[in-house]
Structure 1
Amino acid sequence: MAESVKEGRDKKTEDIRKTGFWFLAFTYAKGKWRLFCAVLVLAFVFWFVFYLGGVPPESYGYAYLLAVFFLLLFLGWDFIRYRKKHMELLDIYDRINVELKGLPKADSLLESDYQAVLGRLYACNKEVISLEDARKKDMTDYYTLWAHQIKTPITALNLLIQAQEGGGKAELSQQLIKIERYVEMVLQYLRMENMSSDLRLREVKVKKLVNAAVKKDRTIFIHRKISLNLQDMENTVLTDEKWLVFVIEQILSNSLKYTDTGGSISVYMLEGEENTLVIEDNGMGIKEEDLPRIFENGFTGYNGRMEKKSTGIGLYLCRQILDKLGHSISVSSVPGRGTKVMIDMSRREYVEI
């Protein structure tokens, strides 16, 4: 929503700047139509009076020429002021999110009133934004504290499970891994808004990233007998290790979620594309009509609704994070045959969200 508003505002500003002299002249003349009408009426009245008084046309014609000359001088001077004020207002339009200063001097009481209304609206808007920022900060602080505090009982549960004997140990471990992943998702969701201040870009081997992501899911791979095929990944990429590992974890989690017991997941570099990592499974796949929307916040799709396993946040987070890292992600899938996720880790222009 915020992006569409910003794009619309930028487009409008660009369109206004493209208008040029003739558009400004037209809008100026349009705003002065009452003055032009008054001048024509007065010219007619004077002509009628002179005509009735028997004044020769040569006498008042010269007066008309002088009047038109000085009127054109006045209109030229007034148009220059009009254009200058227009450009000053455009400059304020460009920076109105930051400050509202430097408004052109009002030429009338009505302009002063409009500026007072605008100033009041700007002050109210700043107050609303400040209150909203404070509310968001309180919420972020609370959930961050919650996410950190809940790690203590999770660690305790993990120790209890490891000490337990019996057939349900593996299943309990899997469920605990899911809880840990959801807690991590909450933390990353909260951090994402200020992600740029947390980025630490450096050269890192793709193999190291993948191994770190796979490590968390090893229990699930073993328990569900899902084979993991890791191919040669000695490539080095410039990225933020922590954030990219989180993305790979989310994609692996989705693959495990929708791959049946005994299935397989392959992780490899795309042939001919040294910076594109592929995570491919032979799970249930994604319906064609769902593919365009899988990166939307809260979208679960057919599989998520049927299996009741999806939060609709994971892939949304992946897309947002990769955009900020300057990477990209794409997905292809065939229902009943599997899904292929491709992460292009080559650096492109940073995208502000």
Structure 2
Amino acid sequence: MIKTFLIERKSWIGMFLCGQILLLLIAYLDLSIPFSPVLYIVFLSLMLFAIFLIIRFNKETAYMKRLKDWENNLDVSGIVGAASPFEHIIDTALTDQTERLRQTASRQQIALEQEKDELLSWIHEVKTPLTAMHLMIGRLENDAMKATLTYEWLRIHHLLDQQLHQQRLPSIENDLYIENVNVEDLLYMEIKSLQSWCIQKGIGFDVQLDATTVLSDAKWLAFILRQILTNAVKYSDNLSPDIIVKSFLEHERMVIEVTDFGRGIDAKDLPRIFDKGFTSTTWHQDSAATGMGLYLARKAAEPLHIQMAVQAEVGVGTTFTLTFPQKNELVRLTGM
């Protein structure tokens, strides 16, 4: 701040020093003016000017320090208190501007909440005809047509489900209910919802559960498993072996592994698969991919303190791993 102050006042300091040098030069050239007294006067002037600079530094930089330390969070109460007319102008401008920004932010927040509520309402409205459509598809006698329509219905259902959970994610902390969850029931429920798709693609599941209970949120854990299982089915085919789902305890932490033997993931894509909107650089022509499933799954896993990891190789398959926190650790982290 001292350097900044001196740079800001360099014109004043330069003007003062030039005046003192000029005074000494006149006394040196004009023999009728005694040089020693003038030198003494210049010395005293420099001392007084130095004291003046110190006083002005403390006075002028106090306001600038408050501005520098301001968090810029639309709260100007910590910086107001002008000591000069110029500072008062800045105070007035900042107060007016922040008030306008606060009002604009408030209006935008209200509009965003209304839009979110309307979207959630629309999603729930769409679920009604979607349920009716599923019942009608179930009555079809043409098995080929039935399988095709069921697959398309399932895609729409999962896209709506993703959108619904995406809207709920910003307030997920308010939606969590930590309890002992039976992972076996969740897994079989999600696998059952994919049954028609699996039959169409000729894919099965090999479930090996050595641990079946974990402390978590059932609804959000089901959503995370849904995204992983859907990906496993989507990128497998009838030439692939069964999708393997394992659960076991490792260092007192429950681990769930989902392994498919489909097309896999290119090594250069692995660091980006959880990024929002990322699909693939190898299979970029896949227009059905939205790049949102794994992103939302990772976002949902964070407040539950579930670690997500992936290992994959092109043409070999992919393994997703969910590592849950220890029971005491989750209670400490969530305060529940």
**TM surpasses 0.5:** yes
2:69 to 88, 91, 103: 91
| Residues 202-256 of structure 1 deviation map (CA, whole Å, 9 limit, x = unaligned) | 3434334433432322333344332211112425443322112101101101111
Distance 1:43 1:104 in 2: 38
Name which of structure 1's ranges 173-182 and 29-38 shifts more when overlaid on structure 2.
173-182
| Alignment check: 8 A CA contact 2:312 2:318 kept | yes
| Residues 136-173 of structure 1 deviation map (CA, whole Å, 9 limit, x = unaligned) | 22321221111101111122122223333332334433
In the superposition, the TM-score normalised over structure 1's length comes to 0.80
User: Per the alignment, do residues 350 and 71 of structure 1 end up closer, same or farther by CA in structure 2, a change over 3 Å counting?
Assistant: farther
Which residue in the other structure is 2:265 paired with?
A: 286
1:70 corresponds to 2:36: no
SS for the counterpart of 1:122 is: helix
Name which of structure 1's ranges 187-196 and 47-56 shifts more when overlaid on structure 2.
47-56
Output aligned runs, 1:125-204, within 5 Å. 125-167=101-143, 168-204=145-181
1:252 corresponds to 2:232: no
CA-based RMSD: 2.9
User: Per the alignment, do residues 294 and 253 of structure 1 end up closer, same or farther by CA in structure 2, a change over 3 Å counting?
Assistant: same
Distance 2:12 2:133 in 1: 83
| Residues 255-311 of structure 1 deviation map (CA, whole Å, 9 limit, x = unaligned) | 111110263111113674633321110111122333232222222215654443211
SS for the counterpart of 1:267 is: strand
Distance 2:186 2:55 in 1: 67
The count of corresponding residues between Structure 1 and Structure 2 is 326
User: Per the alignment, do residues 328 and 39 of structure 1 end up closer, same or farther by CA in structure 2, a change over 3 Å counting?
Assistant: same
Structure 2 stretches lacking a partner, 5+ long: none
In the superposition, the TM-score normalised over structure 2's length comes to 0.84
1:326 corresponds to 2:305: yes
Structure 1 stretches lacking a partner, 5+ long: 1-23
Partner amino acid, structure 2, of 1:287:
D
| Alignment check: 8 A CA contact 2:134 2:150 kept | yes
Give percent identity, aligned residues only.
26
Which residue in the other structure is 1:314 paired with?
A: 293
| Alignment check: 8 A CA contact 2:246 2:256 kept | yes
Which residue in the other structure is 1:265 paired with?
A: 243
Which residue in the other structure is 1:243 paired with?
A: 220
Distance 2:333 2:64 in 1: 33
Distance 2:295 2:283 in 1: 14
1:198 shift after superposition: 1.6
1:59 to 10, 28, 37: 37
Distance 1:321 1:113 in 2: 47
User: Per the alignment, do residues 320 and 217 of structure 1 end up closer, same or farther by CA in structure 2, a change over 3 Å counting?
Assistant: same
1:224 corresponds to 2:193: no
| Alignment check: 8 A CA contact 1:205 1:236 kept | yes
